[in-house]
Every structure is written in structure tokens, then in C-alpha cells.
Amino acid sequence: MNVVNTVPINTSRDLRFTSEVEQHTAHLYAKVSKVIPEVEWPIFAPMIHRINHLKAEKNAVILGHNYMTPEIFHCVADFAGDSLALARHAASTDADIIVMAGVHFMAETAKLLSPDKKVLIPDMDAGCTLAESITGEDVRKLKAQYPGVPVVTYVNTSADVKAESDICCTSGNAVEIIEGLGVPRVIMLPDEYLALNTAKKVKQEIITWKGRCVVHEMFTAEDIRVMRTDHPGIVVLAHPECSPEVIDEADYSGSTSGMAGYVAKYKPAKVVLVTECSMSDNVAAEHPDIDFVRPCNLCPFMKKIELSNILTSLESDQHQVLIDEAVAVRARVSVERMLTGWAPGSA
Ligand code: 13P
Ligand code: SF4
């Protein structure tokens, strides 16, 4: 997604909904009119207009996760996607500044892959319960307990944890990464449900950790059965951070971009995305003919990112994501191996 700026840069912080702002943001409102009421647009539009000017002025790029609210996802993000796509984009962008409209581990991953760029996160408290569930010390203990067993670490972790790992994965490539290791046993951290769901698709034995996503652990298999009774014919798509019981009830399981891709490809008449709330809004904005049922849960960490703090972040270059170099050198290896491929015994 590219937001094209065709207007001169306005350096003042005038956030009134003027006719100029209305005119220059009309094409953006057209993208989100199905999910953002007209009455709310005068609040969003001036900030969107200012953010898009500042990006051009500072050669900054905004990377937006699929869980961002629609005014961020569709109106200021230059590139939007799942964790894997955001990491790939962070590695290849030629912008001077990356603003991560997502959570802290995503900003850290961007910094690992683009160490010479300024990486900003609008709110330092945009964390993740999975990232909080494990420390580098925990990984060292596990490695001592299972010597020689490779450690595959979900990107939803701190740089400290990545530094202790052999290779990273996301929900979009976990099966491929684990199969590619070519070993009979792996440790997969920290999401127990993602590990159990992946274990069903690979031949290897997987040693798990007890991390959980606060958003996805809330869904139950009974929720899905009730949904199918209430909405006959509904197609159920679920994120692999849900429990294996939920995944067993779903028609498809995949990363956030995997689910969006499924909707775009198969265009089900009625669908539910068993994941974070904003995801349905963002996909629904692009598919006005599809009926979305929305028994979603909010991620309190993703929701810390708003237009107002994105604007402050760009104006004041805050908050810069910095990683201790000794940690970064080792953590980068795990992330780069995920992107380029690796097997134990190779460099
Ligand atoms: P994706 O990589 O599928 O976007 O997932 C990230 C995440 O945090 C889901 O809760
Ligand atoms: Fe972490 Fe879950 Fe929020 Fe994703 S949805 S950032 S896994 S807490």
C-alpha cells in the first residue's frame, strides 16, 4: 500500500479539518468509508494529512501490522502486513526512518534488520504477552536441559531471547522453518499453541514452552460451534496462536496475511476471522460484498498505537528503538537465518 503525497509540505501543526484537508484526504476516506463513520473523519483526517506530509519531509516509512485500526492501516501505512512481511520490508526499505505501527518486538526486529536506520515506536508500552512469557535466561536453561536440540523462536520475543536462539519463525513460515532443519527434535518457543499446531503438520518432535497470546487464548472450540449454528455456511479462519481445539474446528488456519489472502482468493459469502478485532475491519474495508461476523478480541498492546502518537513519533523522533550491540549481533543471526534459510551444521 502506498500513500502518494502530491501536496506541498506544511510545517505547522494545524490539525483543523479545513476544506484543503478534506479535499486531500478524500481518496483515503473512500478506502475506509465502510468501516469509519463519516462523523469521525474530521478527527482523523488532519492527523493523517500531517503524518503523510511528515513522512515525505523526513524520508520516513510507516510499517503497519494487520491489527492496526483502519485509519492507520489504510491511510498512513506505506506497507502493511503480517510479522514476516513487515520484517522483510524493514530489511529492504531505503527510507531513513522506520516507524513501526505495531508492537515492540516488531520494531526490534526491524532494527535488527536495518541497524543503520532510525527505528521508532510510537508507544514503548506496546508489548506482547508472548514476548513477556520468556527470558534469555529461560532459553539458556532449556538448552542445558536439551543439549544439541535446535531452538526455533517465534519473532514475538525480545532480542535477548532471539540472541539465545538458533533461528526465528513466524506463524507464516513455522512449518517450513521446522521441516527445513532436517532434525528429529526441536525446541519451539514461546507460544505453546503455535508449537502444538505446528507439531500436527510436521514429522518432528517439538518441545514447547507455556507462552500464550492474551487475545487468541480467549477463543474456545465451543465459540466456533455456536457461530456455525448461528450462521449456517460461515467460513471460519483462525490464527495459529489459538488453541489446537479451536484450530480443529476452523476451515483454515494461517498468519494474519494468510487469512486476508484466503478471503481475497475464495471470497466466502460469510466469514469470521478468529483473531484480533481490527483485522476484520481492515479486510472488510477491501471486500464490501462479504459479510464479516466479528466475535473478536482486542489486543491491548496493538491498540496503544494511534494516529496521535504516530504523529508525535514522527515530529519528535520518538521513541527510538536501540538494542545492545552484543545482543543485536547474535539476535540478528536468528532473524536473518529465518529470511535466508538455515540448517544445523551450516554457517
Ligand atoms: P502474524 O505474524 O500472523 O501477523 O501474527 C503476529 C501476531 O502478533 C499475532 O497475534
Ligand atoms: Fe502479542 Fe497476542 Fe497482541 Fe499478537 S495479539 S501482539 S501475540 S498479545
**84-113 tens-digit pLDDT:** 999 999 999 999 999 999 999 999 999 999
**Whether the predicted pLDDT of 343 surpasses 90:** no
Distance of CA 156 from the midpoint of ligand 2 (Å): 8
Preceding amide of 74 cis, omega within 30 = no
Nearest to 3 by CA among 22, 41, 31, 37: 31
Q: Which residues line ligand 1 (CB under 6 A)?
A: 66, 82-84, 156, 170-172, 213, 239, 241, 255-256
Nearest-atom number in ligand 1 for the CA of 81 is: 4
Under CATH, to which class is 131-214+324-340 assigned? Answer: alpha beta
What Rg value do the Cα atoms of the chain yield, rounded? 20
Q: Does the beta carbon of 69 sit less than 6 angstroms from any atom of ligand 2?
A: no
Q: Does the beta carbon of 277 sit less than 6 angstroms from any atom of ligand 2?
A: no
**Whether the predicted pLDDT of 64 surpasses 50:** yes
pLDDT attached to residue 23: 97
Task: From residue 49, give the alpha-carbon distance in Å to each of 6, 13, 29, 35, 56.
Answer: 11, 11, 12, 19, 11
Taking the mean position of all CA atoms in its chain, how far away is CA 97? 19
What mean pLDDT do residues 239-255 have? Answer: 98
**Whether the predicted pLDDT of 264 surpasses 70:** yes
Residues 6+ apart with CB under 8 A from 64: 72, 73, 76, 77, 79, 80, 101, 102
CATH code of 2-126+302-322, in short, is 3.40.50.10800
CB 213 within 8 A of CB 176: no
Task: From residue 136, give the alpha-carbon distance in Å to each of 80, 182, 192.
Answer: 30, 25, 17
Q: Taking the CA of residue 181 as centre, how many other CA atoms within 13 Å lie in the half-sphere pointing to its CB?
A: 28
Residue nearest ligand 2's atom 8 by CA: 128
| Residue range 132-180, pLDDT digits in tens | 999 999 999 999 999 999 999 999 999 999 999 999 999 999 999 999 9
Residue nearest ligand 2's atom 7 by CA: 213
CB 224 within 8 A of CB 244: no
Distance of CA 255 from the midpoint of ligand 1 (Å): 6
- From 3-12, 18-27, 182-191, the region with the lowest mean pLDDT: 3-12
What mean pLDDT do residues 247-269 have? Answer: 98
What mean pLDDT do residues 57-68 have? Answer: 98
What mean pLDDT do residues 192-212 have? Answer: 98
pLDDT attached to residue 347: 64
CB 131 within 8 A of CB 158: yes
For CATH 3.40.50.10800, list the domain ranges present in the chain.
2-126+302-322, 131-214+324-340, 216-293
Homologous superfamily assigned to 216-293: NadA-like (3.40.50.10800)
Distance of CA 14 from the midpoint of ligand 2 (Å): 34
Mean pLDDT rounded to a whole number for the chain: 95
Distance of CA 102 from the midpoint of ligand 2 (Å): 10
Across 154-193, b (16+ Cβ under 10 Å) vs e yields bbbbbbbbbbbbbbbbbbbbbbebbeebeeeebbbbbbbb
**Cα distance between residue 295 and residue 302, in whole Å:** 18
What mean pLDDT do residues 206-219 have? Answer: 98
